[in-house]
Amino acid sequence: MSITQRLVVGISGATGIAYGVRVLELARKAGVETHLVVTPAAQQTRAYETSLSARDLAAMADVTYRPADIGAAIASGSFRTAGMIVAPCSIRSLSAIAHAGNDNLLTRAADVTLKERRRLVLLVRETPLTLAHLRAMTAVTEMGGVVMPTVPAFYLKPRSVDDIVDHTAGRALDLLGIDVADLPRWGE
């Protein structure tokens, strides 16, 4: 298995679980092997925001791990991956990642991604932002992570929420060099 075909996906408990779902769908379509961890708070947003069961969500990935499974493959740097996307990324998970607080498998896998100098993309979702939020984003950026707030691009004239989610999820995969078919692009 080539490492460019393996992606870790974390889903944390910010609103917008649709972003994580779409990342999984697009990665599967692109032939990428996905390794998923969903936090307990994200299981709550899944129940509020989607009609998916926990089992449905787990089945969207090739491998799904329990957040408490700190000995899972993705907790080790020797398990090679192209990188990790956290979609959506809560402020709690962002803060834990910013301070290497490896308190569950999502934050541990993110820390491993940073320490191995692999691509880490955080689709942070909160507004308005406090200085603590901004400092955590700065810390992650200084360590080489990419903070990608879930902000729509209106110049593409989205006609639905799905269009907005598709574009953001596709751009997140772009950041890992994963080719997403039919992603609307300016000038193309």
Ligand X SMILES: Cc1cc2nc3c(=O)[nH]c(=O)nc-3n(C[C@H](O)[C@H](O)[C@H](O)COP(=O)(O)O)c2cc1C
Minimum distance of ligand X from residue 45's CB (angstroms):
5
Nearer Cβ to ligand X, position 44 or 53?
44
Closest listed residue to residue 120, CA positions, set 88, 157, 83: 83
Q: What is the spatial distance between Cα 103 and Cα 129, in angstroms, rounded to a whole number?
A: 23
Minimum distance of ligand X from residue 121's CB (angstroms):
16
Exactly one of 126, 139, 149, 156 binds ligand X (CB under 6 A); which one?
126
Contact status: 130 vs ligand X (CB under 6 A): no
Exactly one of 44, 50, 76, 130 binds ligand X (CB under 6 A); which one?
44
- Candidates 24-32, 37-45, 58-66, 109-117; binding stretch for ligand X (CB under 6 A): 37-45
Nearer Cβ to ligand X, position 22 or 92?
92
Contact status: 46 vs ligand X (CB under 6 A): no
Minimum distance of ligand X from residue 31's CB (angstroms):
28
Contact status: 91 vs ligand X (CB under 6 A): yes
Contact status: 139 vs ligand X (CB under 6 A): no
Exactly one of 30, 41, 73, 175 binds ligand X (CB under 6 A); which one?
41
Query: HEC states along 151-185?
Result: CCCHHHCCCCHHHHHHHHHHHHHHCCCCCCCCCCC
Q: Which two tokens stand for residue 3?
A: 């490492």
Exactly one of 6, 22, 92, 108 binds ligand X (CB under 6 A); which one?
92
CA distances from 99 to 19, 105, 167 (A): 24, 15, 30
Burial 129-142 (b: 16+ CB within 10 A, else e): eeeebeebbebbee
- Residues at the site binding ligand X, with contacts judged by CB under 6 A: 12-15, 39, 41-42, 44-45, 48, 90-93, 125-126
Name the binding residues.
Answer: 13-15, 39, 90-93, 125, 155, 171
